[in-house]
Structures are given as structure tokens and as C-alpha cells.
């Protein structure tokens, strides 16, 4: 499960100011965090019945419908002329390439390993911001990066010790590659001048035919059953669609976006609980310690308010 963008990653200065309501902001943020906590479990359950491309096609279709409905209700169809080709590029990255890689990682790894690895995207973002946004790498950020990747090392070592087969190298590489793609996606998003929902709608419009072609060329179109449609709705609404809109509302309605953004750190721990209860994966002490170290590093790397 990807950690989602903080208030500092994606801003649109031309948008209208929204009235501050901290109680509503907290409600939206907690709802988003709780929903995101379920997606790692949803990925694994969905991938047990569908191929990577098939799950992505169903999820993207549902998410596209969510953004379409939101655009109809709010009139956020238009993007600035300078953003049109950016939408195309963003759509190729997310959801097309990013989720193909991420789902492939989940297909190879236990959820309790794939999820924390993907969560380090924020550290990758800090590293990529140096050459792309020309931002200096502050000492505090560097220390946070070292701490977080120490947590990754603890996670992988503990995982290797739990099973005789060790961990799937390709799966680990894919999970870490997904962090580069997700961080790059949000760095490119900083160039957008249009409303986030409009950008997402047209990005998903770009990606949908690409994913369809991949399915037709590979495993075929997904079977439509109550179960597969349910998993598609789970991925499309909770991971890609509705929860994104909830998080945006939370950030718009608070005067303390950075403080609200801290709630996202609850998500990976809640996710581990669900992974253990629903998927019945064994969560060893090393996994908990590794994830805790990763989160401490992420928190330390953030610029103080």
C-alpha cells in the first residue's frame, strides 16, 4: 500500500480557499487512513483470483468511474492547456506502470513485507527532489533516510530468517522500484496547475486503454464474478479513488495540513493488524521493529512545523 502524498507534495495555488473545519478535516483524514489500511489485504486477496493486469484493469475501471462521477458533480473536467500532455505522462506512470509493478511485488512477497517496503516511497521522494526540484538535502533528511533504510534492512533480514527459502529478490526489487515510480509521479505533479480531481480523471482515462491492451495481449480480460468485481471495487475505490478524494478534503479543510498529515503514519501499523487477522500471515517481532524504524526515519526526515 502506498503512503499517500503529504500536504507539501501536491499543491495548486489557483484553487479556491475552503473554509477551515478541523473536526471535519480530522474525520476525513481518519476515514482515509482506515480505508488505506485495508488495501494491502485487498491486493493479496484479489491477486489470489486474478492476474496482476486483470486486477489492475478492474481497479482502474472502478476508479475511473469514481473520478468521472466526481467530475460531473463538481464540474472539474477541464485541465489547463499546459497540463494536457502532463496528464498523459502521469497516466502512463500511475495507474498503468506503477500498479503493474506494485501488484507484481505483492504477487511475489507476503503482504507484511511488500507493504512496508512500498511505504518508503517518501524517502525516495526526498532523494529524487534533490536532482529534480534542485532542493538541498538537509542533514535532518539524510539522517532520516539512513534510519528508514536501516529499518528496511531489519525487515528483510528478519523475513529471510523466518523461512528457509528467504525472501524473493525480484519481489523486493519490484517493491523498491515502485517507490521510485510513485515518488517521481508526485514530483511531476508539482508542475500541474489544474485541480487534482481533473488531473486524476484524465490520467486514468489515458491509462485505461493501455491496461486493456496488456490484458488482451496476456491473461485476457478479467472474469466478471461477484468476487472479482468486489476486489476491483476494493482496489478502485479504496486504493485509487474515493480515499484520494477524502484525503484531499482533509487537507483542504484544515489549517494545519502538516499536523493532519501525521495521521498517515497510523496506516501501516493498522495494515499489519489486518494482514495478520485476515490473511493469517505471521507477523514476527522483526517485522514490527523494522516497520517502526522505517516510520521513525520518515517522521524524523520531515521538516518540523
> What does R_g of the chain's alpha carbons equal in angstroms?
19
Q: Of 176, 180, 173, 202, nearest to 84 (Cα)? A: 202
Record the pTM: 0.86
**C-alpha–C-alpha distance, residues 172 and 102, integer Å:** 10
- Rounded to an integer, the average pLDDT of 209-238 is 95
Side-chain half-sphere CA neighbours of 268 within 13 A: 29
pLDDT in the model for residue 12: 43
Q: How far is CA 103 from CA 34, 55, 152, 305, in A?
A: 21, 8, 19, 35
pLDDT of 90 above 60: yes
Vertex 204: Cα angle to 202 and 209 (nearest 5): 110
When mean pLDDT is compared across 15-19, 140-144, 146-150, 288-292, the lowest value belongs to 15-19
Question: Residue 229: is its pLDDT beyond 80?
Answer: yes
Is residue 166's pLDDT more than 70? Answer: no
Residues 202, 210: Cα–Cα separation, whole Å: 13
Amino acid at each position: 500500500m502506498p503512503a499517500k502524498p503529504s500536504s507539501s507534495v501536491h499543491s495548486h495555488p489557483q484553487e479556491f480557499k475552503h473554509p477551515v473545519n478541523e473536526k471535519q478535516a480530522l474525520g476525513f483524514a481518519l476515514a482515509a487512513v482506515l480505508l488505506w489500511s485495508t488495501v494491502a489485504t485487498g491486493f493479496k486477496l484479489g491477486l489470489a483470483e486474478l492476474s496482476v493486469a486483470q486486477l489492475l484493469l478492474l481497479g482502474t475501471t472502478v476508479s475511473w468511474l469514481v473520478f468521472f462521477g466526481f467530475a460531473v458533480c463538481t464540474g472539474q473536467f477541464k485541465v489547463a492547456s499546459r497540463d494536457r500532455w502532463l496528464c498523459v505522462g502521469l497516466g502512463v506512470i500511475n495507474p498503468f506502470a506503477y500498479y503493474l509493478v506494485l501488484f507484481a511485488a505483492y504477487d511475489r512477497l507476503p503482504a507484511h513485507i511488500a507493504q512496508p517496503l512500498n511505504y518508503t516511497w517518501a524517502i525516495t521522494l526526498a532523494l529524487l527532489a534533490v536532482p529534480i526540484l534542485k532542493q538541498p538535502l538537509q542533514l535532518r533528511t539524510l539522517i532520516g533516510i539512513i534510519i528508514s533504510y536501516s529499518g528496511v534492512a531489519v525487515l528483510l533480514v528478519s523475513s529471510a530468517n523466518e523461512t528457509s527459502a528467504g525472501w524473493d529478490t525480484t519481489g523486493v526489487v519490484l517493491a523498491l522500484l515502485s517507490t521510485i515510480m510513485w515518488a517521481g509521479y508526485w514530483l511531476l505533479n508539482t508542475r500541474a496547475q489544474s485541480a487534482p480531481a481533473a488531473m486524476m480523471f484524465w490520467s486514468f482515462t489515458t491509462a485505461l486503454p493501455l491496461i486493456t491492451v496488456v490484458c488482451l495481449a496476456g491473461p485476457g480480460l478479467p472474469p466478471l464474478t461477484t468476487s472479482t468485481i468486489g476486489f476491483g471495487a476494493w482496489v478502485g475505490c479504496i486504493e485509487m479513488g474515493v480515499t484520494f478524494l477524502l484525503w484531499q478534503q482533509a487537507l483542504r479543510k484544515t489549517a494545519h495540513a502538516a499536523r493532519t498529515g501525521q495521521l498517515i503514519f497510523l496506516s501501516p501499523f493498522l495494515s499489519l493488524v489486518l494482514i495478520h487477522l485476515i490473511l493469517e500471515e505471521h507477523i514476527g517481532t522483526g517485522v514490527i521493529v523494522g516497520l517502526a524504524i522505517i516510520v521513525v526515519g520518515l517522521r524524523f526526515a520531515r521538516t518540523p512545523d
